[in-house]
Amino acid sequence: MLSAQLYAEQITAKWTGITGLHLSDAKNSIYFDPVITRPSIWDIIFFKNISSNKKLVDRWLASFNIDKTDAIFVSHSHADHSLDTASVANKFNAKVYGTLSTHNIAIGGGMKNKKNLVLIEHGQKHRIGDFVVEVIKLEHNPIIANFQIFSGENNEVLKQPASYASFKMGGAYVFYIMHKKKRIFYHPGALTVYDKSFYRSRRSDHMFLGIASRKSDTDLIENIILPSGAKKVYPMHHDNFFKPLARKVDDLWGVNLEQFIVSSGSRFNIIVPQVGEAILL
């Protein structure tokens, strides 16, 4: 009886590159920012049109042993977070929780069941089996110097293929996940609005944290991680997403994962996930 209860409470996490995170328990699965297709830096520089590579998505999902997804949550609609939304949703007939921009990208990417589109707003809580996902709107850090690029909304359907710059941000969100007694923070980026009381009121056992575009290591550690009380921190968004997805990770220039690890000291456990590796939470 006890082993059956532990099995029901156990969560398996898989990082699939960039900020892709698949969470599953004995009954349900959630996929955050499922992006496998990776346009090159030259595609962006020369304004080439890009589209989801469905065969590539299927191949990698099989490699990751991901055979079920009930819900997809998209943190924001830049291409490196939203490009494969329709491909993954179609494969599993999953619901897609996102902004209007995300919905228009999914429709333009060929999403078949439009009834599965769910518009998210700040403060909502969505239940998927034993998972309860709180939607929290914050601000995306400037990407280049003090400039925010690819901002705005996709108010019309964005038909793929389309240029990388066409994937407008559409608002930025983090997700606080409750599952029985477990608390997980999915925090895909370094954000410009910090409120320590906000994090103190949402204590977490595990934090999956995007470290790209951070102001500093101290900023993330003092304003996000420590106030949340996270015991284990899993860095994401440090890989070079302008290169094809691979099991061996090449870090994105300027992100400096090793420096972040050193700066963290021993105040919490840092676990660097491997691509597709199953982590028991």
* Higher local confidence (pLDDT), 215 or 260: 260
Read off the tokens for 112.
């078949």
Facing residues of 119 across strands?
98
Please report which residue ranges of 26-84 form alpha helices under DSSP H.
Answer: 41-45, 54-63, 79-82
For 116-125, which contacts have Cβ atoms below 8 Å and span 24 or more sequence positions? 116/89, 120/73, 120/173, 122/173
Facing residues of 191 across strands?
140
Q: Which pLDDT value is given to residue 214?
A: 85
Banded model confidence at residue 145, pLDDT cuts 50, 70, 90: very low
Q: Which CATH number do you get for residue 108?
A: 3.60.15.10
**Whole-structure pTM value:** 0.94
Q: What is the mean predicted confidence (pLDDT) over 220-245?
A: 95
- Give dist(CA 82, CA 19) in Å, integer: 10
- Annotate 13-32 with b (16+ C-beta within 10 A) or e (fewer): bbbbbbbbbbbbbeebbbbb
Number of structural domains found in the chain: 1
The torsion angles phi and psi of 147, rounded to 5 degrees, stand at -105, 135
Task: Give tens-digit pLDDT for 27-77.
Answer: 999 999 999 999 999 998 999 999 999 999 999 999 999 999 999 999 999
Q: Which pLDDT value is given to residue 92?
A: 98
- Give dist(CA 167, CA 157) in Å, integer: 11
Nearest-Å Rg of the Cα atoms of the chain is 18
Task: Give tens-digit pLDDT for 174-232.
Answer: 999 999 999 999 999 866 556 788 889 999 999 999 998 888 899 899 999 999 999 99
Domain carrying residue 210: 2-280
- The secondary structure of 171-189 as a DSSP string is -EEEEEEEETTEEEEEE-S
Whether residue 15 has pLDDT greater than 70: yes
